[in-house]
Amino acid sequence: MTLYVGASSPLASDLVVTSRYGETDPVSGLPVVAPDLTTVSAVSWEVVRPGSEVVTLPASIVGATTATKLVARRLHAATDLPRAGKYAVRVLLTTPGGVVRSEPQSLSVLAFP
């Protein structure tokens, strides 16, 4: 996904979280333990900005969630993306067993031309 510095509402971005439930970890050979995504009650984005600053941003669940797929939407604020560079984003999933982090996804932020 590519965005620009200072992107803000009404611009929103969706991160799709998929569960690897039932798969086998290629390194350990053990079954992957993943939450049933229909049990997720809230989401937020954990963002690692260029320079390693970590912030947590509110997000919402949109669309129909299944056991293996969920969409977390962030309605951007002007302060979300303060500088150009690569951002790493994880979705924090609130489940009955606690908070679970998704696999990281990357976001490229460009300066305005």
- The span from the CA of 92 to the CA of 77, in Å, is 19
* In the chain, where the domains are located: 2-110
Longest dimension (CA), the chain: 48
Rounded to two decimals, the pTM is 0.85
- CATH code for the structural domain at 2-110: 2.60.40.10
**111 in Cβ contact with 84 (< 8 Å):** yes
Residue-wise pLDDT tens digits, 16-72? 998 866 677 777 776 666 788 999 999 999 999 999 999 999 999 999 999 989 999
